[in-house]
Amino acid sequence: MKRIKNHIDELFKDIPHNNETEMVKQEIIENLEEKVFYLMDQGKEQEDAINKAIVEFGDIEDLKKELGVKVPAKKNMAKLNLEFSLWGSGLIIAFFIFINLYYTPQTIWAIYPIFAILWWPLSMYFVWSRKRWGE
């Protein structure tokens, strides 16, 4: 049941290694293997039984809290995304204006892609404002 062991090792990669975590890992692996054998006795194929046992196990967020693992807070990337969208759309708009004026100055066609590009910073603004005001 190497796949179960690899899955549990992947789940425990953020948790510091000590005797308590190793005991918990071994207990989880044993329980999942027992579940797989039970499901195989019920008529499931080995792969199906392993998949079902892993899915039914779920995640280990509660276990991480119990073991005292501090989960790093997510950074608020909304402001950075807004700034990036403003600079990026500004450069793209400048590019379209240049191409329009250089190749076809008699036809103003750049307004159409510019209008489409402006939705990018507008959507990032709404994400930023929602995060800023805590909704």
Taking CA atoms, 119 is separated from 16, 34, 45, 57, 126, in Å, by 44, 53, 50, 42, 11
1-29 pLDDT per residue, tens = 788 888 888 887 877 788 888 888 888 88
Question: Can you give the pLDDT at residue 56?
Answer: 84
Assign 3-class secondary structure to 76-105.
CCHHHHHHHHHHHHHHHHHHHHHHHHHHCC
Question: Can you give the pLDDT at residue 72?
Answer: 61
Under the banding of pLDDT at 50, 70 and 90, the label for residue 70 is low
